[in-house]
């Protein structure tokens, strides 16, 4: 026996942690590590190197290296210990022992150069672009290479490495960046990142109405069609883009608080705001008379009793409709609470509402005509519904009745994730146990404000030329009888709002935010109720016509008639008819009177030429 260490050093070395060979997948590697560990233990106790090499079939140089490094400090400052028994493990500092600018290319030459020139080091550390490959160039790397040459020439190193190589250091720079990225990745793999608190559930137990999750789901149904009326009173079937189910689900109870259906290839911020607004209004059962549908006796929504509950936090992804300027500003002022915008395409961050959509698909939606189960890695697409969608046109009002019955049934059905308790049972038990639910008497007013557009307009007109005071907004002219003689308001700016449901009315507010005067749109946008989006489309349609609106006193109805005609062959037009944005049939009988018909009432006739617009 050879006394290589003191008794205390032997105890310290033998107490060091040993490699976890149970986690190794390769049996040969596991046996090799266990063999080296047993050999190193005998060497620490003082066994001769030659005898240990013969017994464990290891090279004597390997054993001497292990014995020399076992008590040396590692890169992290602690003893290397039994980590020296892992084959191929780098245990020494890879940085070059010689510093300074290299004269020629050799091992660690590029590393020495980067460490010697701080400007070059900063350029390389900031570079995050792709490296060039044999079949693909990298403009970002080309710019970095030019910056490197400029920095080396500024330091007077034109005749030094790497500018003296055949490619003037291009390959050396690419290789260095690649090795540096690999080294960083290995360091990141060996150090566990500290846990991050990114969700509300990481901080506290989620109770009912602490957090709600909003998202939209594309309904799995193929070949959906809508019935488009023809001039002879019959109908033709036209395909539509598809259906979306928008939902707002409480994370604490799994209860669906609001929902809506959208027809089209996507949805926008207005659909989002309408869905949120519906959760702030009392729920009322729909009229199902004459339909083969019926609510359960205990059918329920959270807003069915008393004031609707208000959540503390709303979570949704960063889809464009969710982060639109109008949507964020409106939610901030009237939906209230905390907003968390996660990354889209990661359903795990909103697992509650994804589970809700999955259950609705498996138990309800896929049984609609044309319903199917999408293909996965393990199986092909599976047809669920035996009915063809082309035989059952979409009537949105009837489909909404069906979905309302299904969701109110879901709210009172047992949920396996909540110990077979229904969402209604969880909420009622929470409230009876003294749980605090935020409610507000302003919920109805907030719901109304969620569907309004806040605008700032300027009163126009000219007393000299006889142009009455009016306001231009959204391709329409607004006027009121009360403004006819108010020449003093010309040039003055006002804040106001336009209701999403009827853009024919513009309400101006005074400096205190109170209603000042109500303006009405003039023809051709004065007769048929419409939204700002519908008016924008009608204006685009009008400008695309060669004859403009000549002979047309109602641009909205004329646009609707053209959309119904196009719905036979165009999906976007069929979507508009299916969603109800465009009536399926033209108005019959006498048209509704214009809201601006009395805008000249009480005004005495003026002398001289007068321009009205």
CATH topology of domain 204-446: Nucleotidyltransferase; domain 5 (3.30.420)
Helix axes 60-69, 27-45, angle to 10 degrees: 70
- Give CB contacts under 8 A, 24+ apart, made by 177-185: 177/124, 177/127, 177/131, 178/131, 180/124, 183/94
**Residue closest to 390 by CA, chosen among 229, 243, 244, 226:** 226
Tokens of 357: 């959509």
For 576, the 3-state DSSP assignment is helix
pLDDT for the residue numbered 92: 62
Report yes or no: 395 and 237 within 8 Å, Cβ to Cβ: no
Q: What is the Cα gyration radius of the chain?
A: 37
Report pLDDT digits (tens) over 399-414.
Answer: 999 999 999 999 999 9
Report pLDDT digits (tens) over 414-425.
Answer: 998 899 999 999
In this predicted structure, the answer to whether residue 38 has a pLDDT above a threshold of 60 is: yes
Tell me the pLDDT of the chain averaged across its residues.
87
Listed in order, the ranges of the chain carrying CATH 3.30.420.10 are 204-446
pLDDT for the residue numbered 467: 92
Mean pLDDT to the nearest integer, 155-167: 89
Mean pLDDT to the nearest integer, 137-151: 93
Question: For 308, which DSSP code?
Answer: P
**Residue closest to 584 by CA, chosen among 233, 245, 243:** 233
Tokens of 492: 């003055």
Report the alpha-carbon distance of residue 87 to residue 31 in Å, rounded.
11
Between the two ends of the chain, the Cα-to-Cα distance in Å is 112
* % of the chain with per-residue pLDDT over 70: 90
pLDDT for the residue numbered 501: 86
Report the alpha-carbon distance of residue 438 to residue 206 in Å, rounded.
15
Q: Given phi > 0 = left and psi -120 to 50 = alpha, else beta, which region is 221?
A: beta
Residue entry with tokens 């208000």: 310
Report pLDDT digits (tens) over 94-132.
Answer: 666 677 888 788 888 888 888 889 999 999 999 999 999
- The 10 Å CB-count burial string (b at 16+, else e) for 20-53 is ebeebeeeeebebbeebbebbbbbbeebebeebb
Listed in sequence order, the residues at least 6 apart from 71 whose beta carbon sits closer than 8 Å to its beta carbon are: 5, 9, 13, 79, 80
């Amino acid at each position: 026996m050879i006394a290589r260490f003191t008794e205390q050093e032997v105890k310290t070395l033998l107490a060091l942690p040993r490699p976890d060979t149970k986690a190794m997948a390769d049996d040969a590697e596991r046996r090799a590590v266990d063999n080296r560990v047993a050999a190193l233990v005998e060497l620490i106790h003082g066994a001769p190197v030659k005898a240990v090499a013969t017994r464990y079939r290891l090279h004597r140089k390997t054993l001497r290296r292990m014995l020399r490094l076992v008590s040396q400090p590692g890169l992290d400052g602690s003893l290397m210990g039994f980590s020296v028994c892992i084959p191929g493990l780098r245990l020494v500092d890879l940085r070059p022992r010689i510093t300074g600018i290299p004269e020629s290319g050799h091992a660690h030459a590029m590393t020495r150069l980067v460490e010697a020139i701080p400007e070059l080091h900063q350029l390389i550390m900031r570079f995050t672009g792709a490296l060039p490959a044999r079949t693909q160039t990298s403009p970002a790397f080309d710019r970095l290479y030019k910056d490197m040459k400029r920095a080396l020439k500024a330091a007077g190193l034109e005749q030094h490495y790497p500018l003296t190589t055949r490619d003037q250091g291009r390959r050396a720079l690419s290789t260095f960046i690649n090795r540096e990225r690999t080294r960083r990745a290995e360091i990141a793999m060996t150090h566990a990142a500290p846990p991050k608190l990114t969700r509300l559930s990481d901080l506290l137990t989620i109770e009912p109405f602490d957090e709600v999750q909003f998202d939209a789901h594309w309904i799995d149904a193929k070949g959906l069609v809508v019935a488009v009326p023809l001039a002879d009173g019959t109908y033709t079937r036209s395909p539509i883009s598809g259906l979306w189910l928008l939902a707002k689900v409480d994370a604490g109870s799994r209860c669906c608080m609001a929902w809506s259906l959208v027809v089209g290839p996507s949805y926008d911020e207005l659909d989002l705001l309408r869905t949120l607004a519906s959760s702030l209004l009392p729920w009322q059962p729909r009229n199902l008379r004459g339909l083969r549908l019926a609510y359960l006796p205990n059918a329920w929504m959270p807003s069915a009793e008393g004031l609707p509950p208000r959540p503390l936090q709303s979570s949704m992804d960063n889809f464009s409709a969710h982060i639109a300027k109008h949507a964020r500003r409106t939610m901030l002022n009237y939906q209230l609470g905390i907003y968390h915008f996660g990354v889209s395409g990661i359903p795990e961050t909103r697992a509650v509402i994804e589970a809700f959509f999955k259950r609705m698909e498996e138990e309800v939606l896929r049984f609609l005509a044309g319903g199917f189960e999408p293909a996965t890695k393990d199986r092909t697409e599976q047809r669920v519904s035996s009915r063809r969608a082309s035989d059952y046109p979409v009537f949105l009002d009837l489909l909404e009745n069906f979905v309302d019955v299904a969701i109110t049934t879901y709210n009172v059905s047992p949920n396996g994730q909540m110990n077979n308790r229904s969402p209604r049972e969880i909420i009622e038990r929470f409230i009876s146990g003294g749980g605090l639910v935020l409610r507000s008497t302003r919920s109805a007013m907030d719901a109304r404000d969620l569907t309004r557009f806040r605008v700032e307009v300027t009163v126009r007109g000219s007393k000299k030329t006889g142009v009455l005071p009016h306001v231009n907004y959204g391709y329409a002219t607004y006027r009121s009888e009360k403004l006819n003689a108010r020449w003093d308001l010309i040039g003055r700016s006002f804040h106001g709002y336009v209701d999403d449901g009827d853009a024919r009315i513009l309400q101006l507010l005074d400096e205190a935010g109170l209603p000042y005067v109500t303006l009405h749109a003039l023809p051709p946008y004065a007769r048929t109720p419409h939204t700002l989006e519908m008016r924008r489309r009608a204006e685009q349609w009008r400008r695309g016509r060669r004859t403009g609106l000549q002979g047309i006193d109602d641009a909205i109805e004329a646009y609707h008639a053209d959309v119904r005609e196009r719905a036979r062959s165009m999906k976007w037009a069929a979507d508009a008819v299916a969603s109800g944005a465009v009536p399926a049939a033209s108005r019959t009988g006498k048209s509704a009177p214009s809201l601006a018909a009395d805008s000249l009432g009480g005004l005495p006739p003026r002398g001289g030429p007068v321009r009205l617009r």
